[in-house]
Amino acid sequence: MTYHYSVGAQTYQFADLKTVLAKATPARSGDYLAGVAAETYAERMAARVCLAEIPLTTFLEDLIIPYETDEVTRLIVDTHDKQAFAEISHLTVGDFRDWLLSDIADSATLKRVAHGITPEMAAAVSKLMRNQDLILVAKKCHVTTAFRNTIGLPGHISVRLQPNHPTDDMRGIAASMLDGLLYGAGDAVIGINPATDSIPALMDLYCLVDEVINQYEIPTQSCILTHVTNQIQLIERGAPVDLVFQSIAGTEKTNKSFGIDIALLKEAQSAALSLNRGTVGCNVMYFETGQGSALSANANFGVDQQTCEARAYAVARHLSPLLTNTVVGFIGPEYLYDGKQIIRAGLEDHFCGKLLGVPLGCDVCYTNHAEADQDDMDTLMTLLATAGLTFIMGIPGADDIMLNYQTTSFHDVLYLRKVLGLKAAPEFEAWLKKMQIMDANGQVKPIEQAHHMLQNMPKHLLSA
Amino acid sequence: MSNKQQANLAPLNIDPWQQLKSFTRARIAIGRVGSSLPTKEVLDFSLSHAMARDAVHLALDVDALENDIKSQQFSTIRVKSMAPDRASYLLRPDWGRRLHEKSLSDLNNIKTTNPIDFLIVVGDGLSSLAVSRHVAPLLAELSNHLPKEWAASHVVIALQARVAIGDEIGQALNARMVAMLIGERPGLSSPDSLGIYLTYNPKLGLNDANRNCISNVRPEGLQYAAAAKKLVWLAKEAMRLKVSGVALKDESDMQEIGAQTKLS
């Protein structure tokens, strides 16, 4: 079906649904790179006017990537909850925006309809929304998950402690881990990006984090961000695996380029569940995503990068993750050119994830070849925390010395908690108070030399 | 302490775990004012960012690199990608992954019918600094470890290059394996990280799942000797199993542990 809109003498034609979606998308370098972006400002607005008129039911009939050739499409269609959809099935995309912003769509209602919303519907409506709309609606969506603590409660923001080291040096990792814990970080997960994918070295990392968690009795979970097949092997070899990590994307072909499919993710989930290591819940998966991955794998099929990203959340949702992280500025300027594009993408991803019922956090970040700096990161993290972001990253001084990019620091989390009155996961906060890291008013305290954790360091640090 | 003395003190909390800084170059124990970063840290960070930004745009000194490589007894071949300059390289990674037409025909002209077992390609990537500093010493280590029968005598230097261009080069030169040595995107504390990507049976259209990666090669990261040993271990395994990427697990450390146990 073709779509068209006339402005004066000029008529804008769009060949199909995915073209309307792509041309309606706020400008970003990745869509230009893909050759799917609007060519003029007016064409972009014409596409948005067309998009606003499209009924939500169209997205169930006119599939932007064919059912027969893509398992993500099959997942979206086969798991679509028609009963949940009934409440919004009469709406167009434009009406859907109005409905989402209205007071009818309260938190309970949004939760009820979440499984009736497809990623394409979420992406479509986001393209008609301003930044403040994305914030307001996301804030109404509550997604709560649990493993050894409870993540995503309203009024809370969690932190992934990311103690990476360029050569996986155990002492270096332990030092960054202790630094973060003493700043009150680590409730989302203690998650290491290893430099190696060597199985014995990965086993050592699992044991290191597990020992620290046990030594201080921390109500949190660990994760080593290596390929899912490595993690399955390590589970078989007896590694103490809490969360299973994998990068995922919104098309089958992109996931193939990562060496995965949905069945493999299911297998990994079962393996992690079999260890039965959660204490307050059994969300055992940790996913990372990011706009641009589909095009980067030459597997976007003419679909804009934001819609591809939203489709990744359908994959995530299917596996009930504890955490899903959009690594928004990591991919580089060819996909998100500058601070403005990174900020917009972060807000879109968070909105789409939450609307679909996925516990979305954001790696608020940029690389040194992008036109962005710390001021842009301050803006995005403040907006996202206002929108009810599930978690952000905590890295010493915001400088990841292993992955070579700038993200958010332990200090940044303390800033957000202080300015917006947000709390850590309740079990973790109780631990922070017990350990005299946080005072009775919820403020993280300066640490004295005599502190229990400095007097009883992790064994790798004892020689310091 | 008098009120006056208190007023003169900066409200800076110094973290009492300063000694842990000797274990990592991460920005740990940097202290806080309230819960925020001290001025010194804000300035340090911004200065590092300024330097990394500058480093991205430094052009590779190809003549100097060629001399360095030739002094390691390798011959060199120069090629370039379809990206004509740095600006378009940054916005068009697809151009950086493909050989320029002229370069492709140059390679076709020197292609031999006997396959090359192990082809080394050097790409500028996102840090020419990494390439100019680390390629020559890494090649010196590699020469010690590479099996003689592989006769790895050529090094291809690719400009405005992304990782995947190595596969097209390997295919063009009829190589069984390609090791792509490429400048990684600069970090704040590491403007000069070198990455290595190994592909068995390289050809156009492969992706990351088909390659093994060794990252952060530099004196402050993975040492040249360790990187060279790891690469050769992977290459031998790739040759033996006829595969690279996720199907080839890096167990080089375990092999070493095994070897040590046998010795003791």
- The full DSSP string for A295-363 is HHTT--TT--HHHHHHHHHHHHHHT--SEEEEETTSS-TTTS-BHHHHHHHHHHHHHHHHHHT--EEEE
Say yes or no: A409 contacts chain B, CB-CB below 8 A: yes
- Which residues are bridge partners to B77 per DSSP? B156
pLDDT top residue among B9 and B137: B137
Mean pLDDT computed over B232-240:
96
Identify the CA nearest to A89 among candidates A66, A49, A70, A61: A61
φ, ψ dihedrals at B202, nearest 5°: -65, 140
pLDDT for residue B2: 46
CB contact under 8 A, B249 and A230: yes
Taken in order B135, B141, B144, B146, the sign of the CA dihedral is negative
What kind of fold does domain B62-251 have according to CATH?
A: Rossmann fold (3.40.50)
Burial of B264 (0-12, 13-18, 19+ CB in 10 A): exposed
Instruction: Domain A145-434: state its class.
Output: alpha beta
pLDDT for residue B259: 42
pLDDT for residue B188: 87
B 219-248 residues with CB below 8 A of A?
A: 220-222, 245-246
By C-alpha distance, the chain B residue nearest A203 is: B254
| Pairing relationship of beta strands A285-289 and A10-14 according to DSSP bridges | unpaired
Q: How confident is the model at residue B220 (pLDDT cuts 50, 70, 90)?
A: confident
pLDDT for residue B254: 62
Count interface pairs A-B at CB distance under 8 A.
193
For residue A387, the number of C-alpha atoms closer than 13 Å in the C-beta half-sphere is 32
- Measured from the Cβ of residue A212, the count of other Cβ atoms closer than 10 Å reads 26
Is residue B261 pLDDT above 80, yes or no? no
pLDDT tens digit sequence for A80-91: 999 999 999 999
pLDDT tens digit sequence for B145-196: 999 899 778 899 999 999 999 999 999 999 999 999 999 988 887 889 899 9
Picking from B17, B186, B209, the nearest residue to A404 by CB comes out as: B186
CB A233 within 8 A of CB B219: no
- Measured from the Cβ of residue A258, the count of other Cβ atoms closer than 10 Å reads 20
pLDDT for residue A16: 97
Domain boundaries, chain B: 12-56, 62-251
Q: What is the mean pLDDT of chain B?
A: 89
- Taking the alpha carbons at both ends of chain A, their separation in whole angstroms is 68
Quote the CA–CA distance of A23 and A25 in Å, as a whole number: 5
pLDDT for residue A346: 98
A 193-222 residues with CB below 8 A of B?
A: 195-201
pLDDT for residue B1: 45
Q: How confident is the model at residue B258 (pLDDT cuts 50, 70, 90)?
A: very low
CA angle B158, B163, B166 (to 5 degrees): 55
Q: How confident is the model at residue B255 (pLDDT cuts 50, 70, 90)?
A: low
Quote the CA–CA distance of A84 and A57 in Å, as a whole number: 13
CA distance B7 to chain A (A): 19
Taken in order B232, B233, B234, B236, the sign of the CA dihedral is positive
Is residue B208 pLDDT above 90, yes or no? no
Q: Using the 8-state DSSP alphabet, how is residue A391 labeled?
A: E
Residues of B in contact with A172 (CB under 8 A): 23-26
pLDDT tens digit sequence for A134-179: 999 999 999 999 999 999 999 999 999 999 998 899 999 999 999 9
C-alpha separations of A226 from A194, A242, A244, B1, B211 in Å: 7, 13, 9, 53, 15
Say yes or no: A230 contacts chain B, CB-CB below 8 A: yes
- Measured from the Cβ of residue B64, the count of other Cβ atoms closer than 10 Å reads 11
Q: Which two tokens mark A54? A: 């499209």
Percent of chain B with pLDDT over 70: 92
- Taking the alpha carbons at both ends of chain B, their separation in whole angstroms is 62
Alpha helices for A92-189 (secondary structure H):
93-101, 107-113, 119-126, 131-140, 170-182
CB contact under 8 A, A175 and B30: no
pLDDT for residue A234: 98
pLDDT for residue B264: 32
CB contact under 8 A, A33 and B94: yes
Say yes or no: A348 contacts chain B, CB-CB below 8 A: no
CB contact under 8 A, A401 and B190: yes
Q: What is the pLDDT along chain A (464 residues), one digit of tens a residue?
A: 799 898 888 999 999 999 999 999 999 999 999 999 999 999 999 999 999 999 999 999 999 999 999 999 999 999 999 999 999 999 999 999 999 999 999 999 999 999 999 999 999 999 999 999 999 999 999 999 999 999 999 999 999 999 999 889 999 999 999 999 999 999 999 999 999 889 999 999 999 999 999 999 999 999 999 999 999 999 999 999 999 999 999 999 999 999 999 999 999 999 999 999 999 999 999 999 999 999 988 899 999 999 999 999 999 999 999 999 999 999 999 999 999 999 999 999 999 999 999 999 999 999 999 999 999 999 999 999 999 999 999 999 999 998 889 999 999 999 999 999 999 999 999 999 999 999 999 999 999 999 999 999 998 888 65
pLDDT for residue A335: 96
ipTM above 0.90, yes or no: yes
Picking from A173, A411, A464, the nearest residue to B32 by CB comes out as: A411
Say yes or no: B52 contacts chain A, CB-CB below 8 A: yes
